[in-house]
Amino acid sequence: MRSFKGLFMLIITNLLVFLTLAISGTILINFVLPAFGIDLRGSVATYQFAWAMVFGFGGAFISLWMSKSMAKRMYKMQQVTDPTTPKERLVYNTVRELSQKAGIKMPEVWVYWDDAPNAFATGPTRNNAMVAVSSGLAMAMSDDELKSVLAHEMGHVDNGDMVATTLLQGLMNTFVYFLAGMIARLVASAGSRDGEMNFMLYFIVNMVLQILFSILASVVVMWHSRHREFKADAYAARAYGAGNMIRALQKIETLSQQSRPAEEQESSILAPKDALATMKIHGTTDGLMALFASHPSTEARINALRKQ
């Protein structure tokens, strides 16, 4: 049920983002920029690149801006403002302590009910973030292990990983849209004597190329994602010791392997089990698919921590 809810929300969100960017892009390129002497309407290539930037960076930053609200809608969450249980106090006080040390505004603290051991951080800026912890993680971890996981997530916040990833995603999106559009235009106009473009052929070629280029672009984005996981692990090691983070990763790996068969039965190609799959503390890599993994293998992360 949560899969279909997430898929429906993703479709609606993308439609709203498309309409917003189409309207704002039209106003920007055709009215606002020309008023300041910047006319991007004369050249087809320049015009297309301007549109690619509007959709590439605009879509990425709108997704970032909506990340907190989307996360809250994906899970049954409860914000912790006045902790009452020992685990709630531990989570809340750890996030507060780490944010004070980093000199940033304390992120919102949320817990959600899910047996899978997970935690994630998101939000548009370092001073407007949230840290969420699943009930499965909170109950499975010892206090020191849980604090290390929270420090890992706070590492993402303090390092500005959300914004950095958004900038990279926006850049990749821009080149995907631009290259796909330019090549599709050339193909759709190639067989025409009068220079008229076959719009149906343009649409088909453009969509196919966007998919292919997006796959290639995701390799770069996922490489950056794996790199930031190592940095967040190092942040946690500095805060509470590498040993605690290693034990936390080992426990999460064991618990994830135990629950994986059930997850695979529930998953579907058309309806992914978890639309927030990149918002996880744990990930797996296997063969060629390692290029598309948002997280390094647990073994690689532990080896890196042992070198701290």
* pLDDT tens for each residue of 124-172: 999 999 999 999 999 999 999 999 999 999 999 999 999 999 999 999 9
pLDDT at 66: 87
Residues in the chain: 308
* Residue 125 · residue 117 · CB < 8 Å: no
The pLDDT value recorded for residue 304 is 95
Residue 262 has what pLDDT? 42
How do the domains of the chain map onto residue ranges?
74-158
pLDDT of 189 reads 82
Which of 226 and 50 is assigned the larger pLDDT? 226
Question: Residues 259-274: what's their mean pLDDT?
Answer: 38
* Predicted pLDDT of residue 108: 97
Reported confidence tier of residue 48, pLDDT bands at 50, 70, 90: confident
CA distances from 240 to 136, 144, 146, 192, 232 (A): 21, 8, 10, 67, 12
In the chain, what percentage of residues exceed pLDDT 90?
53
Bridge partners, 111 (sequence order): 78, 133
146, 244 in Cβ contact below 8 A? Answer: no
pLDDT at 97: 97
261 vs 29 pLDDT, higher one:
29
Comparing 45-49, 107-111, 147-151, 223-227, the range with the smallest average pLDDT is 45-49
Reading the block at residue 214, the tokens are 């997006």
Q: State residue 234's pLDDT score.
A: 97
If you classify domain 74-158 with CATH, what class do you get? alpha beta
Per-residue pLDDT band at 41 (split at 50, 70, 90): low
What's the CA gap between 122 and 65, in Å, rounded? Answer: 10
- Residues annotated catalytic, as ranges: 153
- In this prediction, residues 1-5 reach a mean pLDDT of 48
Is the pLDDT at 65 greater than 70, yes or no?
yes
